[in-house]
Amino acid sequence: MSRSKEKTKLSVMKTWPFLCCFSIFIASTVVSAQTETAKETKFDDMAWPQWRGPTRDGFIKEGAPWPISIVKDKLKLVWRKEINKGYPGPIVSGKLVFTAETRDAKDEVVRAFDRASGEQVWEAEWPGSMRVPFFAWKNGSWVRSTPAYDGKNLYVGGMRDLLVCLEAKTGKKKWSVDFTKRYESPVPSFGFVCSPLVTDDHLFVQAGSGLVKLETETGKSVWRTLADKGGMYGSAFSSPSIASPKGKRQLLTQTRTNLAGVDLASGEVLWSQPVKAFRGMNILTPTIFNDNVFTSSYGGKSLLFNLSKTPAGFSVSKKWENRQEAYMSSPIVIDGHCYMHLRKQRLTCIDMKNGETKWISSKSFGNYWSMVSNGKEILALDEDGDLFLIEPNLEKLVIKESREISKQPTWGHLALAGNQLFVRELKAIACYEW
């Protein structure tokens, strides 16, 4: 498909007024008070505005609703709509639910559904297909990036390194950026994988063979850093977050080869640390913990790095390493312990103070887990369509309840908002309520 002839078609079925202003969000302090949010600080617990939720770490707001049970007569299906294939997690506003999909292996589609009824409100689409290589192909070539919502706009990553800004009320396209043209960079071999991050009036994405800051209203680039060659062994898999180690607010980001901290205003790389991984498979979103940064890679290890202030900026030292390897799943840290889904398809608990493995589950699961927590329990969605309610425990894996929630693959990240749970199946979006 010719990118030079790219055009965008918007099919607006109807508009629906919805609440754009929410009360101030106070981040859960169970994991780390240093983990910050983007513009989602405007949202209350009725929204799930981005990758991994309001605080971008898998945690809901402290005191927000939480299901006491996930059995069928407690967690009930409200509605379910069939859609096209895709891996992005659902985005939830006060009254709308947004999905991103790939249609007929040629177009990318974004839809908005009424949160209460599941009825479609609007639809937008543009050309955007590609075929991913190697082992990734068995899992499909459809869209992967989870959109971001800032109360006004929806920011959507398209596979061919395209970023599209849509008006959330109507689906009208406000702007789009083709990073391959802007930076003359190759199409990422595995597609646009990073999930956008919004803060203030700016947007951050790992695209264009680097890390890019853009203006939310125009799509104009402010800076680009951490550039690589792109293509097969460049173009990041991970998604950035914002943290303040040693009191310095910065972007915490992971490329195919390095873990790094980047100044939000200038794009200056404050520190950088090589991270070994097979074919650059640094995928999970790094976690901040008491001025330390945790990551784990496919073909590498689990690592905790300590950040120290120096007259020149920051120094990085390895605090500990653990031979356990993550794959694609980002961990949850509760009371100083990391609960993480491993490459070998088991769950582990690692002591964040010293790297000690407390346990590894005897039971194996699917290739991917998404996890959400209230600091006391964990909701986990397995790629195989199973939902688990887990009690954090330092001795063993404790599954309080489990339930098959889909017969389709469920790679999209769970979304929890208010008293509702949203599950992205491969070809459907479902809303559950307790």
Band (pLDDT 50/70/90 cuts) for residue 230 is very high
Rounded CA-CA distance 155/270 in Å is: 27
Q: What's the pLDDT score for residue 23?
A: 30
Look at residue 43 and tell me if it is in a domain: yes
Look at residue 321 and tell me if it is in a domain: yes
Look at residue 13 and tell me if it is in a domain: no
Rounded CA-CA distance 395/384 in Å is: 26
Residue range 240-264, pLDDT digits in tens:
999 999 999 999 999 999 999 999 9
Q: What's the pLDDT score for residue 13?
A: 38
Of residues 280 and 25, which shows the higher confidence score?
A: 280
- Residue in this structure with the two tokens 């929890």, named with its chain if needed: 416
CB atoms within 10 A of CB 377: 18
Band (pLDDT 50/70/90 cuts) for residue 30 is very low
Q: What's the pLDDT score for residue 31?
A: 41
Q: Answer yes or no: pTM beyond 0.95.
A: no
Look at residue 4 and tell me if it is in a domain: no
Q: What's the pLDDT score for residue 138?
A: 75
Mean pLDDT of the chain: 91
- How many percent of the chain have pLDDT more than 70? 90
Q: Residues 79, 430: contact at Cβ < 8 Å? A: yes
CB atoms within 10 A of CB 266: 12
Rounded CA-CA distance 284/287 in Å is: 9
Residue range 312-345, pLDDT digits in tens:
899 999 999 999 999 999 999 999 999 999 999 9
Q: Average the pLDDT over 153-173 and give the result.
A: 98
3-state DSSP assignment of residue 139 = helix
Look at residue 5 and tell me if it is in a domain: no
Q: Which of 268, 146, 128 is nearest to 197 (CA)?
A: 146
Q: What's the pLDDT score for residue 36?
A: 58
Look at residue 2 and tell me if it is in a domain: no
Residue range 333-391, pLDDT digits in tens:
999 999 999 999 999 999 999 999 999 999 999 999 999 999 999 999 999 999 999 99
Look at residue 231 and tell me if it is in a domain: yes
Look at residue 18 and tell me if it is in a domain: no
19 is written with which tokens?
């609440």
Question: How many domains would you assign to the chain?
Answer: 1
Report the CATH number that the domain containing residue 114 is assigned in CATH.
2.130.10.10
Band (pLDDT 50/70/90 cuts) for residue 42 is low
CB atoms within 10 A of CB 71: 12
Contacts of 108 (CB under 8 A, 6+ apart): 100, 101, 102, 125, 126, 127, 128, 129, 143, 156, 158, 159, 162
Residue 427 lies in domain: 23-433
Residue range 102-154, pLDDT digits in tens:
999 999 999 999 999 999 999 999 998 898 887 777 778 899 999 999 999 99
Q: Is the pLDDT of residue 301 over 90?
A: yes
- How many percent of the chain have pLDDT more than 90? 85
Rounded CA-CA distance 61/106 in Å is: 38
Rounded CA-CA distance 30/39 in Å is: 21
